[in-house]
Structure 1
Amino acid sequence: MFLSGKRALVTGSTSGIGLAMARAFAAEGAQIVLNGFGDEQEIAKIREELGGADYVNEDLTTAEGVEALMKGAGEVDILVNNAGMQHVAPVEEFPPAMWDKIIALNLTAHFHTTRLAVPAMKKKGWGRIIATASAHSLVASPFKTAYVSAKHGVAGFTKTIALELATHGITANCISPGYVWTPLVENQIPDTMKSRGMTRDQVINEVLLEQQPTKKFVTPEQVAAIALFLCRDEAENINGANYSIDGGWTAE
């Protein structure tokens, strides 16, 4: 198990992509720090499944919340910034408070976790920083101003820290999935129905899967497999990359 002795923090890891990543890392021996919302009993089961994972739940939309998370997590070797949220609305109707919250969680939290994790990684001479970005880090879709802006920012932030940390044994990379069937995607369907005047089936087939030439949703496990590879020694020269896993969406 090549991650034995490593400690991995995955934000937003009580469901969806983050949970798949946590499971993949744990299977290779990493000690996991979970973060996210959910039923206490279900989270307790996940912690047990992952070999006694730690769990730190804080509000990542504030600097203070991220600082509390990182203090509770301790020194980590692998940092995965995965937590995110979405809201779908025309720009003139987009709630300013929702814009601020999405930017805070989907982008600014990446800065705060990274700045706090890097000193220990530098001291050890090894680290992996991985961002769950999105196809929307590369292309745009209507009615998602905050999300698209944040994900474009994540891609730029990742490139920048990759350059800064390149001589310290630390890599920074993005993974940019297309539509993955997770609560985040499922929960945006009603807003998209309202914004576009569509039925649920129309949103799934004509908005979500329309973008992906394979006409298949990406699975959380497929995203996790890339994250796991990026932690291997063989990936030490993959730095500042943005891995698309979108069925060919951004190839057009």
Structure 2
Amino acid sequence: MQRFDGKTVIVTGGGGGIGGATCQRFAQEGANVAVFDMNPDAAQAVVDRITQSGGTAQAFRCDITVRAEVDAAVAAVQQVWGGIDVLVNNAGWDVFKPFTKTEPAQWDKLIAINLTGALHMHHAVLPVMVAGAKGGRIVNISSDAARVGSSGEAVYAACKGGLVSFSKTIAREHARHGITVNVVCPGPTDTALFADYKVGAGNPEKLEEAFKRSIPLGRIGQPGDLPGAILFFASDDGAYVTGQVLSVSGGLSMVG
């Protein structure tokens, strides 16, 4: 018996680095995994890796900024597997510039993907979890930028900070339904987003070395470092934990 046997899990941004690693770990532990991504090829590649290893997964093309697509994808998951037990809001995007160098159109896109998209997902999935009468688990992927700030990521940090506050509120509103809501905050992690961040800084190698020196554990995070924390919050082991925020950053930020 595995922790997620018979459970249905949605992971947004499931075709990316952290999202893909999280999908694979859920599948390894018995879950039916719905891989949500606006890039159908990336989502299908994750599904193929899962099914080749004997797991169960299906790709769902979904732009989380478009409510109609969210509703359609959530309904499609229900048609395939019935209820929804776990939601992992992982999709994200960033622009790496000083705030005064950014433009309002970029703010709109950052807010749409990093905050409004997560609101769409909650609004679509929470009624399904409540109606299922089994409770549910929501894990929101924020960022250490939300907790301590990050130069060149002002609007991204604002969105991720908003997601932390939103998560705590939803945790309070839905505790009576047996639904827990928790937050995982990655630090610098070796993903496509971090690669873009280094390029935006102008000297990728120097920036990466600076991060390594500042991280007590001495290395940049890997996508595979995140699923352990995510799956804890999503599992019955975390059934009495809600409204909490956990940094997975090699000790870069130590927030009490």
TM-score normalised over the length of structure 1: 0.90
Structure 1: gaps spanning 5 or more residues: 194-198
Counterpart check, 1:228 vs 2:237: no
8 Å CA contact retained: 2:14, 2:23: yes
- The residue type paired with residue 103 of structure 1 is I
Partner of 2:220: 217
Matched, 1:2 2:3: yes
Q: CA deviation at 1:215?
A: 2.5
Q: Which runs of 5+ in 2 are unaligned?
A: none
Corresponding residue number in structure 1 for 2:136: 127
Q: Compared with structure 1, are the counterparts of its residues 133 and 126 closer, same or farther at alpha carbon in structure 2 (3 Å cutoff)?
A: same
Q: In 2, Cα distance between the equivalents of 1:242 and 1:54? A: 29
d(CA) in 2 for partners of 1:236, 1:144: 33
Q: Indicate the RMSD between aligned Cα atoms, in angstroms.
A: 1.8
Q: 1:110 aligns with which of 91, 95, 118?
A: 118
Judge conservation of contact 2:110–2:159 (CA < 8 Å) in 1. Answer: yes
Mean Cα deviation higher: 51-60 or 175-184: 51-60
1:230 is matched by which residue type in structure 2?
F
Taking structure 1 as reference, are residues 42 and 22 closer, same or farther at Cα in structure 2, changes over 3 Å only? Answer: closer
- SS of the aligned residue for 1:249 comes to coil
* Partner in structure 2 of residue 196 of structure 1: none
Identity %: 31
Aligned to 1:46, which of 38, 46, 49? 49
- Residue 34 of structure 1 aligns to a residue whose secondary structure is strand
Query: Where does 1:1-252 land on structure 2 (aligned, <5 Å)?
Result: 1-36=2-37, 37=39, 39=41, 42-43=45-46, 45-46=48-49, 48-49=51-52, 51-74=55-78, 75-123=83-131, 124-193=133-202, 199-206=203-210, 208-251=211-254
What is the deviation of 1:213? 2.5
User: Aligned in 2, Cα 1:231/1:139: closer, same or farther, shift over 3 Å?
Assistant: same
Over residues 151-185 of structure 1, what are the superposed CA-to-partner deviations in whole Å (9 max), with x where a residue is unaligned? 10110011000001112111000001111111111
Report if aligned partners of 1:179, 1:209 keep a CA contact under 8 Å in 2: no
- Cα shift readout 1:76-123 (whole Å, capped 9, x = no counterpart): 110000000111112222022221111111111111111111112112
Report how far residue 38 of structure 1 moved.
5.7
